[in-house]
Amino acid sequence: MTLPLLMRPFATEFAKPVCPKPGLENDEIRMTNVERIPKSEDQMERHQVPSGRFGFRDSGFLRHWSCVIRISVPVRSAAQAGGFSRWLSLFAVAMLCVAGAPPAFGWGETGHRIVARIADGQLTERARAKVRLLLRGNSLEGVSVFADHYRLLDTNSAPWHFVDIPVSATNYDRQRDCQRHGGCVVEQLDHFKRVMADTHTSVSNRAFALMFVVHLVGDLHQPLHCADNNDRGGNEVKVVFFGETNSPAGIPWNLHAVWDTGLIEHRGLSEIQYVRKLTARLKPETIPALQAGTTIDWALQSHSNAVHFAYQIPANHELGAVYYRKVSPVVDDSLLKAGLRLAGVLNEAFDR
In the chain, what are the domains? 104-350 (1.10.575.10)
Q: What is the mean pLDDT of residues 51-76?
A: 35
Q: What is the pLDDT of residues 298-338, one digit of tens each?
A: 999 999 999 999 999 999 999 999 999 999 999 999 999 99
pTM above 0.85, yes or no: no
Length in residues, the chain: 352
Q: What is the dihedral of CA 244, 163, 290, 118, to 10 degrees?
A: -60
* Pure H helices in the chain: 41-46, 61-68, 78-81, 90-99, 108-121, 125-134, 146-153, 174-177, 185-197, 203-220, 255-257, 263-266, 271-279, 287-291, 295-305, 321-350
Helix extents (H) in 52-107:
61-68, 78-81, 90-99
Say if residues 1 and 45 touch (Cβ distance below 8 Å): yes
186 close to 178: Cβ distance less than 8 angstroms: yes
- pLDDT value of residue 155: 87
Average pLDDT over every residue of 241-258: 96
Residue 98 has pLDDT above 80, yes or no: no
Q: What is the mean pLDDT of residues 207-214?
A: 98
What are the tens digits of pLDDT across the range 297-308? 999 999 999 999
**Exposed/middle/buried for residue 283 (C-beta within 10 Å: 0-12, 13-18, 19+):** exposed
2-39: pLDDT as tens digits:
333 222 222 222 223 333 333 333 333 333 222 222 33
- Of residues 77 and 297, the one with the higher pLDDT is 297
Rounded to an integer, what distance in angstroms lies between the CA atom of residue 145 and that of residue 150? 9
In eight-state DSSP terms, residue 200 is: T
- Residue 182: per-residue pLDDT: 86
The one-character DSSP state at 11 is: G
Position 83 pLDDT exceeds 60:
no
Q: With b meaning 16 or more CB within 10 Å and e meaning fewer, what string describes 68-104?
A: bbbbbbeeeeeeeeeeeeeebbbbebbebbbeebeeb
Residue 106: the pLDDT is 54
Nearest Cα neighbor of 284 from 116, 114, 115, 121 is 121
Q: How confident is the model at residue 188 (pLDDT cuts 50, 70, 90)?
A: very high
Could you tell me if residue 234 is left (phi over 0), alpha (psi between -120 and 50 degrees) or otherwise beta? left
Q: Decide if pLDDT at 115 tops 90.
A: yes
Residues of the chain with pLDDT > 70: what percent? Answer: 70
Strands (E), 256-335: 318-319
pLDDT greater than 90 at residue 213: yes
pLDDT at 74 > cutoff 80: no
